Amino acid sequence: MSTSEVNGLIIVNYIGSVFLIAIGFYTMMAKKNIMKIVIGMGIVDYGINLLIVSVGFNPGGTAPIFTINELDPGTFFVDPVPQALTLTSIVIGACVTALALSLVIKIKQEYGTLDAGQIRRLRG
Amino acid sequence: MILFYVLIFPGFLFCFIAGLLLAGIDRKLVARMQRRIGPPILQPMYDFFKLLGKETIVPRAASRKTFLIASTIGLASLVATALFIPIAGFSAFAGVADIIVILYLLTIPAVSLILGGAASGSPYAGVGISREMVALMSYELPLVIILLSIGKAVGNAMGGGITFSFTEICAYQMSFGPIISKWSMIPAAIAMLFVIPCEIGSRPFDIAEAETEICEGPLVEYSGTPLAVFNLNHAIKMFIMTALFTSLFLGGFSTGIFALDVLIFFVICVAITVISITLLRAVTARLKVEQVFKFYWSVVSGLAVLSLILVWLGL
Amino acid sequence: MIQHFPILAIMVLFLGAFLTVLCGKNKVLRNIVVFAAMLASSVFIAFLIKPIMIDGEVITYWLGNWSPVADYAIGICLVVDQLNLFFAILVSVAVLLAGVFSFKYMSRDDTLEKYFTLFLMLSGGVMGLVLSGDLFNMFIMVEILTFAAVALTAFRNRSEGALEAAFKYLVIGVIGSSCILIGTTILYSQFHTLNLAQLSVLLHNNLQPATILAFTLLLTGFAVKAFVVPFHPVEADANAAAPSSVSVIISCVLTKAGIYGIIRIVYFLFRSMNLAPLQFILVLIGTLSMFIGVTMALAQKDFKRLLAFHSISQVGYVMTAIGLATALGVTGGLYHAINHTLFKGLLFLCAGAVFYATGTTNLDKLGGLAKRMPQTAALFLIGAFSISGLPPFNGFVSKWLIYQATYEKAVEFGNIGYAFVTIIALVVSVMTLASFIKVSQSVFFGQLPDEFKEVRETPVPMRIPMWIMAALCVGAGLLPQYMMRYLINPAVYAVMNVGNYIGSVMGPGYAEKIAGQTVEAYSSEFALAGYWSPISWLALFAIIICAFFIVSLSGGKLSKKIHSDSPSGLDPKYDTFFSGEANEHSQVGGSDLFWGFKHNLRHYFDFMHNAHSGVISDYALWAFCFLSFMIVYLFIIV
Amino acid sequence: MKKNINVRHIIVKDAADIFTPLSLVFGFYIILHGNLSPGGGFQGGVMIAASAVLIYLGYGFKTASSAINMEVIRKGEAIAAICYTCLALLGIFFGLNFCRNVFFNNGAIGDLLSSGTIAFMNYAVGFKVLTGVSFLILLMVSLLAPDSDSEHK
């Protein structure tokens, strides 16, 4: 595949990530089941991760492993920073999901329901 | 010198005499309007000294310290307000006088009354402080708008920006004549005339101290010295509000002799009292709580906003 | 050595958090570790005051010595300029006092090592956020502090609504964090750097669609963290459910972290505060927060929930002032930020003390505690007067500055709309007073219910931080000129002149070299329209002291005439007047106060009550409406 | 799901037996060589934590919780975090900046101790993740465990 073709294909990633983020946000807004809200949070997270990774993609680039002596102006490699960011973001996303799930378990135990419409003791 | 300002003029003693005199005149005039003979003009003073000699009872349910101290805080802040208001062009702390400071200082007597009432632990006082607070919220909105429109009007004339400084307001009135002579400020002046009775708590806006409904509200448990001080606060507030009106809207006159100026100032204060307090008190009955609130936030605020808009239009 | 202090101030907190886990059940050791970590962090911050605030240096600290290569910031850096340090001081004061308070306050709960671990993580997260010079690290720290705050909100998971509040906080927090992360990603994709200073140079006057989108997302993200309207219900829930010492952090510190983020975004990163429509939208958000917060507070029945709504209202003041984009406005905003930390901290600690003593914060159940807890009542009054802005307390000084700033803005723009902002600000101040009158009437004054007859004053370790906060409140009100000179003015200077920051991070002359432009500064000059002099407060204090002196002079005679009965006495002379009604029928409930006010505005209150429905999907919907509105609005104005 | 866990098919059990040591060894390999080859502390740590899940799947919650001491894991996580911080602080003790790579930093490719403190930090991260994630998993499982175990007794 030529560089320009790959370059054109990367748009799929962006569309996909925007699509995922939109679905996630829609889930958080429209669904009343708090389990689904947690799932929505996860989907948003995946969408963002996909977006970050795509940002760092460089068509035809090599893996960013080199010593400082090899670094000359012609070296062509994938941007390593977004990968590090994605890794951090994945970890954070996992933690968010874990925390949210533990809260959901506790809420289910205490309220006996997962319906957000009934989990509203604090209001007004 | 500061001690002189604080204690004698325009501080405690002056306020004491002027306030109680105003209260006496007010009572006498109301009585005459109602075809009664009325008490002597010095009656509030007699009352004050008599109450000082009476026993002070602290109810069992009261928080003793707050109950006793509250009245003094109100008195202190009223005296402080008197220092900041230019009386016949003279203010003790020229340079620190500022209309927003005065706006806030004027709320402290109400707050002290509220705290004293709350500390007495009586349910009547509970209702009373709630009403006092509603009254405070009612008149604060028009008062704020009035003061801001004066600040803009004076600032326009005195070089561009705005001013919150009382000294500049006085200087403006010295050179351009009283503020009330501006067309745009007339609605504000009328609004201010309505603010005065509510601030003081006289009929028809005496919802907080309604004797017939809630037995003097916050003052229900008071006796002896604290009650005397609260009555004094009421009288001094009367003087201070009228003095504020006079220096805001009718200032700027000068005869050259200071004592005469003060006398004229006091006479104007009496006139304002007669217009805004005595007449209103003699001819009206008490309004309901929500009526007071509605009146101030619609009619009086409307007048004040009209004034503000006129000032912005440059009239 | 001094250049290591920023990282040490962050790391000792995290180190303390991990060491706390190792302490296990040993209470004394754990408390020593926690206290040492908080104290060390504060000391490190305090040592930075001299070089930064007074000498005007900016410290840049590259982690691992990865300084910029070929004008490209490849490393992670911490930057401490005056604004960062201002917020760091604020954070460390609040954290230290709340931490000391919680030693005793939390002593009845179990699994305290988890509490202190999370508490220190939270503090470390905020400290990291305000000292970071890097957009992605700001995001990470935001996430850390959101986690810790959510977990701490749910800490007393058996109390009413704690889990629910934590879950809502988490969902709204995730929306904010996601916005920040998407914004960061978009900026990275455009400029391939995450360093704030470098981005600031590259972004200046560079508002293309992508950067506008990033700007909106970042602004929304940090607005979520500052809990302005419409993200506010979550904060109210979280503050009501969390332990008081955590409420202090959420209300005083996390909202300030959000405000810090907003200042960094609008003044520093995009330098776009010269856009009048942007100023307008920030002021509008601030004014709405101010008004909605205070009116909702008037309708509350729970002490802490009421305080939470007040913190929304006070943050609204800060937001309004920041949005004015004048030097005076920023001065007032920052001053109010630090004042809010002091007095709201004090008030939450008072609420905590009441909860510790009585076990409830319901306004309708409490009453008359001033007799049993006189010191707490006095401290509460100091806090209440400060937040209502009565002179001579600190709230007055900053509110005065904000009134003047808004009104001056109105005159300067010839726009009467800003004059109404001043009016609303002043009226909101009175309403604040009203709602604190309500609290004092129904918690500290009024009648003492029988079940609280045996309540005792809180222990000394809880009162010490409260007294310190109260002293700071009075001090910040009485000595504004020192506060201005050593804290506020340098911070305002840093907000208005971003050149120092950029020069320190990327080397002097960087902006000229890369973007071919000089870093312009907003004017940081301002004149006060009235006379703003602490002498007036001192005079007032002198008068009050004089008055007390006179009273006490004649007190020899007077006190003989003051009679009171012992609390258990039966003399009917000392009974309260009930006019025949039995005591229990005549109690005035806290929620029944201000009937006249609420009756007239009943449609508004009904609407607001229904709007705060407590359903998390609704809150998420509000958040997205805000986000979409901001995107549309900003694309239209640019 | 619940049913499978409690019946504990021989297939699940045997698979757990086989894959637990594998995932442990492979995880440790990934952690130790994180500075030389793709992977690193986080990935290896998660892989090791997966073995905790395998034990749970194969033998149920009781065995898993008795095999793995939660308290030790919790403290281990804190120790790992402290180690990481202290390694980072070494930079300051050596008169350089925080997180600076200070010793054994010879840069020989393929040598285990060639990358200075980075390798050790990586091990600390690995230890932290393996303890942290196993703790997290066990904690969440224990929230569900009481009712799932009691159903079949």
CA distance C208 to B100: 44
Most confident by average pLDDT, A32-41, C496-505, C578-587: A32-41
What is the Cα–Cα distance from C497 to C509, expressed in whole angstroms? 15
Q: Under an 8 A CB cutoff, do C531 and B122 touch?
A: no
- Tokens describing residue C26: 């040993």
State percent of chain B over pLDDT 70. Answer: 90
When CB atoms are compared, the residue of D74, D78, D97 closest to C64 is D97
For residue range D35-74, what is the model confidence (pLDDT) as tens digits? 777 778 888 888 888 888 888 888 777 777 777 788 888 8
Instruction: Return d(Cα C200, Cα C269) in angstroms, integer.
Output: 4
Q: Summarize pLDDT for C305-332 with one digit per residue, the tens.
A: 888 899 999 999 999 998 888 888 888 8
Contacting residues of A for C624, CB less than 8 Å apart:
25, 29
What is the C-alpha separation between C157 and A105, in angstroms, rounded?
12
Domain that holds residue C183: 2-518+590-637
The answer to whether C613 contacts chain A (CB < 8 Å) is yes
Considering only CB atoms, B126 lies closest to which of C381, C389, C446, namely C446
Q: Which residue has the higher pLDDT, D94 or C311?
A: C311
β-partners of residue C61 are C78
pLDDT greater than 50 at residue C609? yes
| Residue C533 token pair | 């002099």
Residues of chain A with pLDDT under 70: 1-7, 65-75, 124
Query: In this predicted structure, which of A88-102, B219-233, C560-574, D90-104 has the lowest mean pLDDT?
Result: C560-574
Number of Cβ atoms within 10 Å of the Cβ of B204:
18
More confident residue, C349 or A8: C349
Q: Which of A28-37, A45-54, C21-30, C441-450 is the least confident region?
A: C441-450
**Inter-chain contact C170–A96, Cβ cutoff 8 Å?**
yes
User: Is the CB of D89 less than 8 angstroms away from the CB of C11?
Assistant: yes
Do B and D make contact via 3 or more CB pairs under 8 A? The reply is no
Q: Do C174 and A96 touch (CB under 8 A)?
A: yes
Name the percent of chain C lying above pLDDT 90: 7
C551 in a domain, yes or no? no
Backbone angles phi, psi at B8, to 5 degrees: -105, -70
A21 or B62, greater pLDDT: A21
Whether residue A67 and residue D139 make contact (CB cut-off 8 A), yes or no, is no
Quote the pLDDT of residue D152: 40
pLDDT for residue D4: 47
pLDDT of residue C568: 64
| Ramachandran bin of A68, using left for φ above 0, alpha for ψ from -120 to 50, beta for the remaining angles | alpha
Average pLDDT over residues B222-249: 83
Cβ distance of C11 and D88 shorter than 8 Å: yes
Q: What is the rounded distance in angstroms from the CA atom of residue C438 to the CA atom of residue B115?
A: 11
* From C434-443, C570-579, D29-38, the region with the lowest mean pLDDT: C570-579
Count of structural domains within chain C: 1
For chain A, the farthest-separated pair of C-alpha atoms sits apart, in whole angstroms, at: 64
**Interfacial A residues in 26-85 facing C (CB < 8 Å):** 28-32, 34, 37, 41, 44-45, 48, 51-52, 55, 79, 81-82, 85
Helix, strand, or coil (residue C358): helix
- pLDDT at residue number A23: 92
pLDDT of C154 over the 60 cut = yes
CB proximity C612 to A under 8 Å: yes
- Bridge partners of C562, per DSSP, are B56
> Region C453-468: what's the mean pLDDT?
84
Range(s) of the domain holding residue D133: 2-150
Q: In a mutagenesis test of the A interface, which of C185, C220, C361 is the best target, namely the one with the most A β-carbons within 10 Å?
A: C185
CA distance B57 to chain C (A): 5
The answer to whether C434 and B136 have CB atoms below 8 angstroms apart is yes
Q: DSSP letters along chain A, please?
A: --HHHHHHHHHHHHHHHHHHHHHHHHHHHH--BHHHHHHHHHHHHHHHHHHHHHHH--TT-B-S---TTT--TT--B--HHHHHHHHHHHHHHHHHHHHHHHHHHHHHHHHS--BTTT--SS--
Assembly ipTM: 0.85
Q: List all residues 6 or more positions away from C619 whose beta carbon is below 8 Å from its beta carbon.
A: C168, C171, C172, C230, C231, C233, C234
pLDDT of residue C564: 65
Report whether pLDDT(C583) > 70: no
Contact B130 C539 (CB under 8 A): no
Beta-carbon separation of C547 and B76 below 8 A: yes
pLDDT at residue number D153: 34
Report the chain B residue with the minimal C-alpha distance to residue C598: B290
The pLDDT assigned to C544 comes to: 64
What mean pLDDT do residues C463-475 have?
Answer: 87
Residue D86: Cβ within 10 Å count: 14
The predicted pLDDT at position A20 comes to 92
Tens digit of each residue's pLDDT (9 = 90 or more) over C472-482: 888 887 777 77
Contact C343, C381 (CB under 8 A): no
Q: What is the pLDDT of residue A94?
A: 86
- Quick check: C632 contacting B, CB < 8 Å? no
**Region of poorest pLDDT, from B77-86, B228-237, C52-61, C255-264:** B77-86
First vs last C-alpha separation in chain A? 60
C-alpha of C413 from chain center: 30
Asked if A101 and D140 come within 8 Å (Cβ–Cβ), the reply is yes
CA dist list (Å): C136 to A49, C180, C186, C207, D54: 14, 9, 12, 21, 35
Q: What is the pLDDT of residues C508-559, one digit of tens each?
A: 777 677 666 666 666 656 655 554 555 656 666 666 666 666 665 555 455 5
At B124 the pLDDT is: 79
- pLDDT in the model for residue D1: 47
> How far apart are the C-alpha atoms of C151 and C136, rounded to whole Å?
23
Q: What angle do CA C521, C527, C529 make, to 5 degrees?
A: 140
**pLDDT beyond 70 at C587:** no
3-class SS of residue C177: helix
Instruction: Supply the mean pLDDT for chain B.
Output: 79
Chain A residues within an 8 Å CB radius of C612: 123-124
Task: Answer yes or no: do D143 and A98 touch at CB < 8 A.
Answer: no
Q: Which residue from D42, D140, D143 is facing A91, i.e. has the nearest CB?
A: D42
Query: Is residue B236 scored above 70 in pLDDT?
Result: yes
Domains in chain A and their CATH numbers?
3-58+76-111 (1.10.287.3510)
- State yes or no: pLDDT of B190 exceeds 60: yes
The average pLDDT across C40-67 equals: 85
Whether B143 shows a pLDDT value over 80: the answer reads yes
Q: What pLDDT was estimated at residue B1? A: 65
Please check whether residue C622 touches A, CB under 8 A.
Answer: no
Q: CA-based Rg of chain D, rounded to a whole angstrom? A: 19
Task: Give the residue from C170, C203, C168 showing the smallest Cα distance to C184.
Answer: C203
Q: Look at residue C375 and tell me if it is in a domain.
A: yes
The alpha carbon of residue C208 is apart from the nearest alpha carbon of chain D, in Å, by: 37
Total of domains in chain D: 1
d(CA C602, CA C250): 31
Closest-CA distance of chain C to residue B32, Å: 34
Question: For residues A77 and A64, is the Cβ–Cβ distance under 8 A?
Answer: yes
Please report the pLDDT score of residue B286 as a whole number: 80
Subunit contact C61:D99, Cβ cutoff 8 A: no
Report the alpha-carbon distance of residue A88 to residue D46 in Å, rounded.
14
In angstroms, the CA C314 to CA C344 distance is 9
Question: In this structure, are residues C308 and C240 in contact, taking their beta carbons and an 8 Å threshold?
Answer: yes
Amino acid letter, residue B37: I
Interstrand relation of C562-564 and C59-62 (parallel, antiparallel or unpaired)? unpaired
Best mutation site among A37, A46, A97, A103 for testing chain C: the one with the most C CBs within 10 Å? A103
Contacts of residue C205, defined as CB under 8 A and 6 or more positions apart, other chains included, come to: C271
Q: How far is A29 from chain D (nearest CA, A)?
A: 27
Using a CB-CB cut-off of 8 Å, the residues of chain D touching A106 are 143
Nearest to A102 among D107, D109, D140 (CB): D140
Q: How confident is the model over C593-619, as a mean pLDDT?
A: 81
List all residues 6 or more positions away from D69 whose beta carbon is below 8 Å from its beta carbon: none
Q: How high is the mean pLDDT of chain C?
A: 82
